């Protein structure tokens, strides 16, 4: 079942801009060095633009544009962690940064140069630096097995990979390409396929290839972009899933059923010709674990995503408030410790729990893994007022925390602030979650036992970052366990307590 999660994710190049950010913070000098060395698409912007326009003329939407959006890169830095996680290659997407910005307008420009095209927006466009989206209405006929969508009217052929990580060649190598073709009414090739199934819903083609299986990627690459795209249809949308994996879709079936009134289709293995009046190919990405409300049709946001999630999974707490009888003095705030076992583990979990109890917390431990039932674990997280864990995909469970709860991200030793920021710190605000950070210091990491005092690993983490994502990951993410200093951690827990309504009410 998990076979395709653990592909070798080698390739230090993918480090790309994620690492760059770290360097930006550190030193401009290093930044320039690394950019030259790791940038996965080492072409100047202009060359790319030209190439892209050429491609557009040919009707291909494989836009490899690499925008300069560096600030964006900061949040794109995002994501990496976990055994299965990937460094985001030249992923400059992100952070709300001007979305469909540069490349999208380039697409428009290119389209308008073709004399006959008077559309305000091409059928396919770069909906963000991380995603391409195609939208069409008319006579839409989807033939899944050939990954072809016949459309009338349509002026030219388009190609697109419907997965939100467009600059990451490794991720996209596991995503099938779809073709949108003009539906010819003349008796020329290709022949007009006859509808075997008619639907009044909008068809929505997306892929669950890529990096799915890692919860961070599940949400940031697929589920949240799918919400961004599908929410506006109020259920009148049918998910046509390419690179379908039943274990994966089953895991998130309640979410799909919340977004759509129609059966989800394993579209690559589908022999029907499914006919619709409109189609969307490729979900739209906004930002890491986030929705940019200003770019949605009716201003829906991460708050709406979380409301949808609570509805889908039956989560009771919208807000982190003491429940039950308000006069019950035993009502205590709940602190959930996210455990990890093989790397970045807390070595003094028991003592941490005892200390938290002494502060008045009701303490729970949770260790999510791929076999964990999503809604069961989601209910545990939703019952918590504070969630603490070492940086890793497990913190993605923050999506289930009630509003007003506190997330404490424990950042492993090694100059990883940028990684912590892009993945879980920045998304917290839009989720209405308070965010606190606990930085692991030298006397709290097992690295100080593995390396001599003056080793660069301990003295100069950025010199390790410079060697690429794999080196960084191996040293600071895979080989490190932590033992937080209870006195310092206590201060952070008390800070969290102050942020909660517990104890302030009477
Ligand atoms: C689908 O709709 C078309 C156009 O109305 C009709 O000709 C065709 O018979 C329908 N096919 C099915 C399978 O219902």
- List of residues 6+ apart from 234 with CB closer than 8 A: none
pLDDT exceeds 80 at position 305: yes
Most confident of 2-6, 352-356, 497-501: 352-356
pLDDT exceeds 70 at position 482: yes
Task: State whether the beta carbon of 195 lies less than 6 angstroms from ligand 1.
Answer: yes
- State the pLDDT at residue 70: 30
74 in Cβ contact with 92 (< 8 Å): no
Atom index in ligand 1 nearest the CA of residue 198 equals 1
Helix/strand/coil for 346: strand
| 56-65, 205-214, 402-411, 493-502: range with lowest mean pLDDT | 56-65
Q: Whose CA is nearest to atom 5 of ligand 1?
A: 198
Cα distance between residue 325 and residue 316, in whole Å: 16
Q: Is residue 189 very low, low, confident or very high in pLDDT (cuts 50, 70, 90)?
A: low
Helix/strand/coil for 393: helix
| 362-366 and 334-338 beta bridge pairing | parallel
CATH class of this structure's domain 334-499: alpha beta
Retrieve residue 288's tokens: 């890491």
- State the pLDDT at residue 502: 84
Distance (angstroms) between ligand 1 centre and the Cα of 198 equals 6
Q: What is the pLDDT of residues 101-152, one digit of tens each?
A: 323 333 333 333 333 444 456 799 999 999 999 999 999 999 999 999 999 8
**Beta-carbon-side half-sphere exposure of residue 391 (alpha carbons within 13 Å):** 31
- Give the closest residue to 381 by CA, choosing from 335, 341, 322, 330: 335
Task: State whether the beta carbon of 200 lies less than 6 angstroms from ligand 1.
Answer: no
Tell me phi and psi for residue 23, to 5 degrees.
Answer: -70, -35
Cα Rg, the chain, nearest whole Å: 24
Atom index in ligand 1 nearest the CA of residue 197 equals 13
Distance (angstroms) between ligand 1 centre and the Cα of 161 equals 29
Distance (angstroms) between ligand 1 centre and the Cα of 196 equals 7
Distance (angstroms) between ligand 1 centre and the Cα of 177 equals 28
Provide the residue ranges of all domains of the chain, joining segments of one domain with +. 3-312, 334-499
Q: Whose CA is nearest to atom 1 of ligand 1?
A: 198
pLDDT exceeds 60 at position 39: no
Q: Which H/E stretch holds residue 230?
A: helix 224-230
Cα distance between residue 18 and residue 91, in whole Å: 7
Neighbour count for residue 429 (Cβ, 10 Å): 12
Mutate to test the pocket of ligand 1, among 198, 275, 277 (most ligand atoms within 8 A of CB): 198
Distance (angstroms) between ligand 1 centre and the Cα of 273 equals 11
Task: State whether the beta carbon of 105 lies less than 6 angstroms from ligand 1.
Answer: no
Q: What is the pLDDT of residues 40-53, one digit of tens each?
A: 222 333 333 333 33
226 in Cβ contact with 206 (< 8 Å): yes
Distance (angstroms) between ligand 1 centre and the Cα of 194 equals 8
Retrieve residue 339's tokens: 């455990």
Task: State whether the beta carbon of 294 lies less than 6 angstroms from ligand 1.
Answer: no
206 in Cβ contact with 228 (< 8 Å): no
């Amino acid at each position: 079942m998990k076979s395709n999660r653990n592909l070798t994710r080698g390739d230090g190049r993918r480090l790309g801009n994620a690492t760059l950010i770290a360097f930006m913070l550190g030193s401009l000098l290093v930044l320039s060095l690394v950019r030259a060395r790791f940038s996965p698409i080492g072409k100047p912007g202009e060359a790319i633009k030209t190439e892209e326009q050429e491609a557009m003329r040919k009707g291909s939407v494989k836009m490899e544009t690499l925008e300069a959006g560096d600030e964006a890169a900061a949040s794109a830095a995002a994501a990496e962690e976990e055994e299965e996680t990937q460094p985001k290659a030249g992923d400059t997407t992100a952070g709300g940064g001007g979305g469909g910005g540069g490349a999208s307008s380039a697409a428009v420009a290119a389209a308008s140069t073709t004399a006959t095209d008077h559309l305000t927006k091409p059928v396919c466009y770069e909906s963000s630096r991380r995603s391409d989206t195609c939208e069409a209405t008319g006579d839409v006929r989807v033939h899944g097995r050939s990954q072809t969508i016949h459309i009338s009217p349509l002026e030219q052929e388009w190609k697109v990979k419907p997965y939100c990580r467009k600059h990451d060649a490794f991720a996209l190598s596991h995503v099938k390409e779809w073709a949108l073709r003009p539906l010819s009414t003349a008796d020329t090739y290709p022949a007009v396929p006859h509808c075997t199934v008619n639907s009044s819903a909008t068809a929505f083609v997306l892929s669950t290839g890529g990096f799915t299986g890692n919860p961070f990627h599940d949400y940031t690459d697929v589920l949240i972009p799918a919400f961004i795209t599908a929410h506006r249809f109020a259920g009148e949308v049918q998910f046509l899933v390419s690179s379908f994996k039943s274990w994966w879709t089953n895991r998130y079936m309640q979410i799909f059923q919340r977004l759509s009134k129609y059966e989800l289709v394993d579209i690559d293995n589908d022999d029907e010709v499914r006919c619709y009046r409109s189609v969307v190919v490729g979900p739209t990405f906004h930002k890491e674990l986030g929705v940019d409300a200003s770019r949605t049709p009716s201003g829906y946001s991460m708050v709406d995503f979380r409301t949808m999630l609570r509805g889908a999974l039956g989560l009771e707490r919208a807000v982190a408030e003491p429940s039950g009888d308000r006069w019950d003095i035993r009502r205590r705030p709940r602190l959930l410790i996210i455990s990890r076992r093989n790397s970045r583990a807390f070595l003094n979990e028991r003592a941490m729990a005892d200390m938290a109890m002494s502060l008045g917390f009701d303490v729970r431990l949770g260790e999510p893994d791929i076999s964990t039932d999503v809604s069961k674990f989601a209910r545990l997280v939703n019952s918590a007022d504070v969630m603490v864990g070492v940086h890793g995909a497990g913190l993605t469970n923050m999506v289930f925390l009630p509003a007003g709860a506190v997330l404490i991200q424990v950042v492993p030793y090694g100059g990883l602030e940028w990684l912590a920021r892009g993945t879980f710190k920045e998304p917290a605000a839009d989720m209405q979650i308070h965010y606190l950070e606990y930085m692991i210091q030298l006397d709290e990491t097992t690295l100080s036992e593995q390396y001599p005092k003056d080793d660069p690993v301990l003295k100069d983490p950025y010199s390790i970052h410079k060697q690429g994502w794999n080196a960084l990951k191996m040293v600071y993410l895979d080989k490190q366990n932590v033992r937080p200093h209870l006195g310092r951690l206590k201060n952070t827990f008390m800070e969290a307590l102050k942020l909660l309504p517990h104890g302030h009410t009477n």
